Amino acid sequence: MAQSPELDHLIAAMSRYVIDLPRAIAIHLPRIKDGKVHDIEFIWGNKNFQSWRLKPLQVGDLGSATRKNFNELLPHLNTAWFDGQAIQFFVSSHKSSASDIEIETIWSKAEDVIVEWGDEIDSKIQHGSAVEAERHRRLMDAVEAERDSFVQEIHDNVLQDLHVLTMNMASKLSPSLDKDQLLSESWNLQLSLQKIQKDLRSLLTQEQQRTALLSVRLFSLGETYSNETFTTSVTIDDDTNIDTLGNDIQNELFYVCKEAVSNALKHSNGSKVDLSVGVESSTGEIQLTVQDNGDGMNDVTLRSSGTKNMEKRMNRIGGVFSLENTDGGGLRARASVSHPNQE
């Protein structure tokens, strides 16, 4: 293949300055058919470019024969050839990385060829591994903190009550007591046991809520806060992907919803509350809405209502909380947060 002096100069410059760069760089000659680029012919590639191939490309190898999904590349090649530059994004999986990597490739026209400027994949793999390791460390720290809290609650509430109960049984259930005294002491002990049972059930429920997926916890919340006079309905759009959020975000969203539903049950004078989770179309944010059919609030009460705790929870995860009366009566609490994987 005959090469122009300009192309020889470009290859010489590339060989001198970018041969060892940690990103894939190559030069291709476009093949034109019916006024469009329909294939590319390999001319030159640096060491990193060739290292990603099982067999190094040879001068003259065609892209259509050596690349997967070549047809998906053609629009970018044509944009680069006719407009000067195109940027291609695609996601790739690598066994050395714990998650998929988004790779950027820039296609630029130079003289009569197209230059391929690949991404620094090795750097992204290392960075991704570091990010994953840090995420895992923070998750383990959170799990350990929750476990310590659980153990502390058992120690402070349940074990101390059991200790007192054991002492009472030894001192008060004496054979010298008459029948009425024994019945009275037995009744007190039964009440103490019921309190311990209730505390244990509450602790176990809290622990289950901490570890369950957000969607499961929200549906369970709907069942818990429904009775003969009050109904809590829960609707979650499939495309919200709330169960893929980080544990800290899931926890904060759950407790915001729980407090909003609890407030509706206690103060709204309504008969139902609708808890819905969806994606806001204009921003792509995840939006959780809790709306009741009660009396709503007057303006003064609304502005001074106890929403600080819910606001703080949303602020901690970079979200927004709002509270407003609805046109048809009732109150609407809304929590919005961006999905990290969609930013």
pLDDT digits (tens, 9 = 90+) for 235-272: 999 888 898 888 888 888 988 998 899 888 888 889 99
Task: Compute the average pLDDT of residues 290-300.
Answer: 82
Paired tokens of 219? 């549906």
Q: What is the pTM of this model?
A: 0.43
Q: What is the mean pLDDT of the segment spanning 151-174? A: 60
Fill in the DSSP letter of residue 52: T
CA distance 45 to 56: 9
Tens digit of pLDDT for each residue in 185-241? 777 777 767 776 666 666 555 555 556 788 888 988 888 888 888 899 999 998 888
Distance CA 201, CA 223 (A): 17
Cα 97–Cα 102–Cα 103 angle in degrees, nearest 5: 105
Residue 305 has pLDDT above 70, yes or no: no
Q: Find all residues with CB under 8 Å of 156, minimum gap 6, and list them.
A: none
CA-CA distance, 40 to 64, in Å (whole number)? Answer: 8
The predicted pLDDT at position 319 comes to 92
Query: What is the helix (H) or strand (E) element at residue 257, kind and residue range?
Result: helix 247-267
User: What pLDDT digit, counting tens, does each position of 27-53 carry?
Assistant: 999 999 999 999 999 999 999 899 888
Confidence of residue 291 (pLDDT cuts 50, 70, 90): very high
- Select from 78, 84, 87, 85 the least CA-distant residue to 35: 78
One-letter amino acid at 179 equals: K
Residue 100 contacts residue 91 (beta carbons within 8 Å):
yes
Q: Are 168 and 199 in contact (CB under 8 A)?
A: no
DSSP labels for 73-117? HHHHHHHHHHHSEEEEEEEE--TTSSS-EEEEEEEEEETTEEEEE
Instruction: Give 292's contacts (C-beta < 8 A, 6+ positions apart).
Output: 264, 268, 270, 272, 273, 274, 330, 331
Q: Phi and psi of 181, rounded to 5°?
A: -65, -40
Q: How confident is the model at residue 163 (pLDDT cuts 50, 70, 90)?
A: low
- DSSP E strands: which ranges in the chain? 25-33, 36-45, 85-92, 101-110, 113-117, 231-236, 272-279, 286-292, 320-325, 331-337
Rg (CA), the chain: 32
State the number of CA atoms in the 13 A half-sphere of 13 facing the CB: 9
Is the predicted pLDDT of residue 98 greater than 50, yes or no?
no
Residue 341 has a CB neighbour count (10 Å cut-off) of: 10
Average pLDDT rounded to a whole number, residues 112-138: 66
Residues 6+ apart with CB under 8 A from 89: 102, 103, 104, 105
Predicted confidence band at 115 (pLDDT cuts at 50, 70, 90)? Answer: very high
